[in-house]
Homo-oligomer: A and B are copies of this chain.
Amino acid sequence: MTIDWGTQFAPRLRQAKGSAIRELLKLLDDPGIVSFAGGIPDPALFPRAAIAAAAQRILGDPRRAAIALQYAPSEGYAPLRRFLVQTMASRGVACAVDNILITSGSQQALDFIGRLFLSPGDMVLVARPTYLGALQAFSAHEPVYGKLPTTGDNRTPEPYAATGDAGAPRAKFAYAIADFQNPTGESLTLAERQDLVASAAALGLPLVEDAAYDQLRYDGAALPSLLALDTARAGGIDAGGVLYCGTFSKTIAPGLRIGWIAAPRPVIDKLVLIKQASDLHTSTFDQMVLHDVATTLPPEHPAAIRQSYRARRDAMLGALDAYFPQTVRWTRPEGGMFIWVNLPAHLDAEALLRRSLAEVKVAFVPGASFHADGTGRNTLRLNFSLNPEEVAIAGIRRLGGVLHRALAA
């Protein structure tokens, strides 16, 4: 009897298919493509020499190598957790080692949070648009999505409280990216952060803060994280309701897959159980290398990343001003990796992508996949961190040409 895989798989997975993003990424192998699609750091900025030196120090010492290559606690490598306590303190949050779980990148943090809170039919509040990978992680549990209501250019959570007492299922958590959101590049103002934290606290609603980009600010003054505000409000991290997801993928290297969650202890205690059943622990070797690099890297390293990406953002914005039609609108982010483009309402970004690839070999991500409700067909996301300025400018010029032709048709 041949196996009927369709009926063996769990129902939620029977219809699952790969996303447009995955197909797009496959195109990156074509050297003729200019891709604005990925959320990919510039590999020239990876601290390669520091990572190589760290690997040699660790493996050159038999005692440390025996730890690096062995099974390890699910919570994470203790010195890295202690380092992250200091990191969080420098970001305005007093916490203890038991408030930190090491994850395999912040994608795993989002996956674990979905597993911890969600059953089918539960509600999650998200912005529209929001990070596609968060939607993928949460959607595995078949939630319904409520809107984290936003006004005033997609940033004010004012009518947020209303969502809590609608007839809808009670929300299990709200997911927000306060700094340089993926995909829009926009940030919450201080007042908006305070409102969001106060609203969530009034509702007894956990807030999941995705802080993937918070070290990538190019203009303006840093603002406190939702976790910092909530910890101050509640009198301590354990009395609060924010789960902060951090990562080294943007400031050191994503290939090492090291992120963390800083959260109240009752949350971390459960997440450790999920981590243990998921993959036992994150690579001990990578955790030790990361810890060595993070503690020895010169302080000018993040500044160099910011300087490079600032220049790339400025070049992209200049090219958009020069080459995109007047009827197209886009964000002007103070940080992060992305610019968000709104096309005239009658244009479809997926159709534009097919045309752009065929005519000028320029890739981007159509915006619909960032919308939990399938809207946003006339939007698209452009990454500015990967391409050197001259490549990006040429790509935007070519994409602008396609747009002009599409609008003239």
Neighbouring B residues of A286 by C-beta, 8 Å: 283, 285-286
What CA separation (Å) do A48 and B66 show in the bound complex?
Answer: 8
A55 CA / B283 CA spacing, docked (Å): 14
Interface size on A, residues (CB 8 A): 93
| A364 CA / B79 CA spacing, docked (Å) | 28
In the complex, residue of chain B having the shortest beta-carbon distance to the beta carbon of A50: B59
Is the beta-carbon distance between B55 and A59 smaller than 8 angstroms? yes
Tell yes or no: A189 within 8 A of B by CB: no
- A241 contacts partner chain B, Cβ-Cβ < 8 Å: yes
- Which residue of B52, B257, B267 is within 8 Å of A281 (Cβ)? B257
Question: Does A69 lie within 8 Å of B253, measured CB to CB?
Answer: yes
Q: Which of B38, B59, B104, B201 contacts A279 (CB 8 A)?
A: B104
- Does chain B have a CB within 8 A of A71? yes
Which residues of B are found within 8 Å of A152, using beta-carbon distances?
A: none
Shortest beta-carbon distance, A254 to chain B, in Å?
5
* 8 other A-B residue contacts (CB within 8 Å) besides A10-B118, A43-B66, A69-B253: A1-B202, A3-B264, A8-B172, A13-B274, A41-B70, A107-B280, A133-B280, A285-B286
Query: Chain A residues in contact with chain B, CB under 8 A?
Result: 1-5, 8-13, 16-18, 22, 25, 38, 40-41, 43-44, 46, 48, 51-52, 55-56, 59-60, 62, 65-74, 103-105, 107-108, 111, 115-119, 122, 133, 136-137, 139-141, 172-173, 201-206, 239, 241, 249, 253-257, 264, 266-267, 270, 272-274, 276-286, 289
Q: List 13 A-B contacts (CB under 8 A).
A: A5-B264, A8-B172, A8-B173, A10-B116, A38-B71, A41-B70, A44-B66, A46-B69, A70-B254, A104-B282, A255-B283, A278-B278, A286-B286
